[in-house]
Amino acid sequence: MSSDLEFISRRSPVVCTAGCVASSQPLATNIGLDILKKGGNAADAAVAVAAALNLTEPASTGIGGDCFCLFYEAKTKHIYGINGSGRSPSELNIDLLKQQGFDEATPLPLHHAHTVTVPGAAAAWCDTVSLFGSKKVTLEEILKPSIDLAENGFPVSEISSKLWKDGVSVLKAPNNKHGLELLINGHTPKHGQIFRNPFLAETFKELSSFGKKGFYEGRIAAAIVDVLHYNGSVMTLEDLKCHSTEQVEPISTTYKGVKIWELPPSGQGLTTLVALNIVENFDVTAMHHNSTDYIHVLVEALKLSISDTMWHVADPTQVRVPTQELLSKQYSKRRSALMSLQRADDKCVHGNPFSTGNDTVYFTVVDSEGNACSFINSVYKHFGTGLVPAGCGFALHNRGSGFSLSPSHPNCLSPGKRPFHTIIPALVTDANSDQLLCAFGVTGGFMQPQGHVQVLLNMLEFGMNPQRAVDASRIYVEYSKKDTSWKLFLEDGISQDVAEELRARGHNVEWPVVGHQRAIFGRGQIITIGDWWKSSSVPSSEINSKVRWAGSDPRGDGCALGY
């Protein structure tokens, strides 16, 4: 059989010539396509998908959380960024937490009300439509499909049902007065069971009618503050009213003829770019995909980039973040020189760039004009805090758990500050022509930059199509502050011989990771413009920009669809 016909991927990539949507829920993907067919563009459809996912996958995402967005404007080839994350309450500070018994040694419990920063998603949805939308569809039209679905009900998908069940304890917690709003008779919905959320429908109707004020002022804002105060938070109505989305300049690096775009801090997109800069110093193609040498180089590069960003990434409006210094190719070359090709490094030590020597949804949309929206939305850990404002139909996130409580740390908690954020969307363009090549992302907390690197290299270095690139077995590197050591997780599909050889090099290996435990490797979505990944040469103007190729992660419930 010809190698071109060998069945390698779990499913073939979607190919189409007009609009294309890839998300973790088929119902949400379809809603996005419908908005495109009504004349909406990629930004309009992305917000429609975000709303639908709030309904179909509430353990992972929602209007009670934050979101980030990269928008590629085909006409100008310009890339815009939105930081849709919220800030800490104006009355929350380290001294107050110390009085309550919390400090660096005794951090806040993950579900404590103090971990709720102002939810930024609602404002960012409105601003995405206002700034980048087609103006051919209104916010009301964009949200209406999800409102209808919420009122009429939908069958719950398999993985969403499991995530619901995994997070049920926070919904049923005694301090959560309204958590039962997200359950059916006190139970999580089973796979295939119809779930309705009339409260969320009302929330979306208020956002449709009144825009951002419908969320950050009035009934919804009062309900948010009420449930938070009941649980000890110092969030105020003024904190909500003063919230604003921030337009930001995306950051980028080049890798073998392409330019990879991420959002700047307070997000961790920098980790992806620094890791790619380090990997670029090695001939990874010659090492072969998921070989011992390849995984070793990847792991050591990720350790260095994660160590840097765990220290340096913080809210740039409050502290100096050395973004450009960390992106320097010279700096990455110095960092790569620290790597041994035969032995794992177990330290987590950030570099000095000034020296001269679990639970998120990602989705992507490309419209018929070639505009692209790379979008990620999250409530963080399994329903976030799980706290549900009365009559609102959504849970509040716990992104404030991303703060450090060490006064000397750049990411230390202070009033009105954004925490270190894990959620990151990505885009890829031709480094010479600025032509869009790819819109992609991978969910999963600290897995996200690791997923970005692996999926991108699967295409750039090993010629995988978009579906195969997200299918391929992944690795995940995790640092334990408690044990002061790194652990390496290898997904089923990576050979036992490779696992044993990595152990011999000093890696603390967990292998094989199978079944639902594979969730730690995240869930990716990807749409490419043309089949540039088929060639190892630099992408050129000969790419057929009319054809979209898309893939959706088999670790999720979703799919890619086009027309």
- Sequence-ordered alpha helix ranges (H) in 371-430: none
Nearest residue to 110 (alpha-carbon basis) of 453, 352, 359: 359
Nearest residue to 10 (alpha-carbon basis) of 467, 395, 372: 467
Amino acid at site 353: P
508 and 486 Cβ atoms separated by less than 8 Å: yes
Residue 208 has φ and ψ, to the nearest 5°, of -60, -45
Round to whole Å and give the CA distance between 412 and 446.
19
**Residues linked to residue 563 through DSSP beta bridges, in sequence order:** none
Round to whole Å and give the CA distance between 16 and 13.
10
Name the one residue in this structure whose structure tokens are 């459809």.
45
User: Which residues does the annotation mark as catalytic?
Assistant: 360
Round to whole Å and give the CA distance between 241 and 232.
20
393 and 150 Cβ atoms separated by less than 8 Å: yes
For 156-211, what is the HEC assignment? CCHHHHHHHHHCHHHHCCCCCCCHHHHCECCECCCCCCEECCHHHHHHHHHHHHHC
- How many Å is the maximal CA-CA distance in the chain? 70
Q: Is 445 annotated as a binding residue?
A: yes
Pairing mode, if any, of strands 509-513 and 485-491? Answer: parallel
Residues 6+ apart with CB under 8 A from 371: 41, 42, 43, 71, 72, 73, 74, 132
Nearest residue to 78 (alpha-carbon basis) of 89, 66, 70: 70
Round to whole Å and give the CA distance between 416 and 398.
15
Round to whole Å and give the CA distance between 74 and 76.
6
CB atoms within 10 A of CB 199: 20
Size of the chain in residues: 563
Q: Which residues are annotated as a binding site for L-glutamate?
A: 445
Q: Which residues are annotated as a binding site?
A: 445
